[in-house]
Amino acid sequence: MNNEIPTNNFHRVLRNEPEGFFTQLLPTRDQLDIFKNCKDLVQEALEIKLKEEYGTKPKFRLQGSWAYGTCNVPNREGQEIDFDYGCYLPEKCFSGDQESDAEVLIGHVKQSLSQLCYVENWQLDDTNPSCLRIRGFMADAHFDIPLYAVPDDMFNDLKDVPISSRKNSDVVESNESFDGLSNRGYGGSLNFSEDTQPQDLSTFFGESSFNRSSDTINLSESLESNQFDGIQKNESTQPSIKDISLIRNDGKWKVSNCERVREWFLKECSKLPGEGQQLRSIVRYIKAWRDYDFNPKHRKAPTSLALMILTVDTYEYTQQRDDKALTQVASMLPNRFLQDVTCKDIKDHETEIFNDYGDNTYKYRADDSRLAKQFYESLEYCSTKATVAKQCLTLLTTSLGDKITDNEDLVSISVKETNPKPVQVAAAAAILPSQIGG
């Protein structure tokens, strides 16, 4: 006798093409092309200017969600896609007077980007202390250029990749995992299928990559491959990932963990079936929930890094069931939000607290926990209590926004009605929408 309690299946609400939530969160092909064009122009301008001033051509790396393969389009009106493209110079280019070095570098970069923005009719925004920002190249998006001083040996390990002269479509169409987009009927979104990795974005945008890693270690290799396991045991062949310094607009230099985080997350993905594709999907859903339910005008929301760490810590692979994997992660969030979010596996940042809200820490963590509890209860009701598909879709829309499909055929109902009392849900998100993007 099978005593397993029946549960509903709303995996296809999340993963169906073209209607699934996952697909709706992906940047479109047109957006990718526009970002790449902007990136090529920015890179070319800065290469010319900084090579002229420092005798060294800078190198460039994807940052944040684009480097992890978890970038979402806006989930509410007013949000923007955040594209981060770090500009790296070796420490040998600087005198050691950090404030003076920062002032000189930022002056050169501003001059170069101002000229570019004038030609392209874009706008240069220098109000963010951590980067220079370009607007006007695309609606609902901005392009950030953070500046970094990199240890000389780490800079030397980075392989300079010339700006590609090929059309973007040639890059995409040469990769089988991007093939057939026009036949899927969803406007040419880049599809992160089971065999597609963040490294495909690296190839698409043409960022600099580590020499040693390019030939001897591929962080997308699964643990089943002896290559990755063997390299893990030989530290001398690892790329020299070190902390780097973010050069801020106010002249301060701040230790940055951007490369450490990328290294950690890609390794976590490499340990999982499907090269961590489902894990990246769950991170997308959790970030989309954050974007829908938190309003930065009222308070600081949980950072994407904190959400990534919590997702990695609580995720369990569930084949072809994103709904179960998401519910599992959500079940752990209410309690975890009340605690310090740390990650012992991010090298040199093992004790850093990633949900420190300063004087508001206690209050904001309680808010995080309360909203996470509402989110989990909605998912759990969809799974174990909803007796009609419409209930599931209404609850998911309340938690995740109007990118959730209204196609009831994508929900498989196995639960029989035993308790007619409906779940109490809010008519809209618990808090006004955020403007967090990326």
Encoded amino acid at 279, one letter: L
The predicted structure's pLDDT at residue 228? 32
Token digits of residue 161: 């990749």
Q: What is the mean pLDDT of each run of 10 residues along the chain (438 residues)?
A: 76 93 92 94 97 97 93 92 96 95 97 98 96 96 97 92 56 34 38 60 88 44 33 46 90 92 95 93 97 86 97 97 98 98 94 96 96 98 96 97 97 82 51 44
Give Cα 402 distance to the centre of its chain: 21
Q: Are strands 132-135 and 141-145 parallel, antiparallel or unpaired?
A: antiparallel
Give Cα 190 distance to the centre of its chain: 14
Residues in CB range of 432: below 8 A, 6 or more apart: 295, 297, 298
Q: Are strands 132-135 and 123-125 parallel, antiparallel or unpaired?
A: antiparallel
Residues in CB range of 38: below 8 A, 6 or more apart: 83, 134, 137, 138, 143
Model pTM?
0.85
Please list the residues that pair with 60 across neighbouring strands.
87
Encoded amino acid at 148, one letter: Y
Structure-derived torsion over alpha carbons of residues 320, 368, 76, 10, reported in degrees to the nearest 10: 20
The predicted structure's pLDDT at residue 420? 55
The predicted structure's pLDDT at residue 421? 56
Name which of 406, 378, 375 is nearest 393 in CA terms. 406
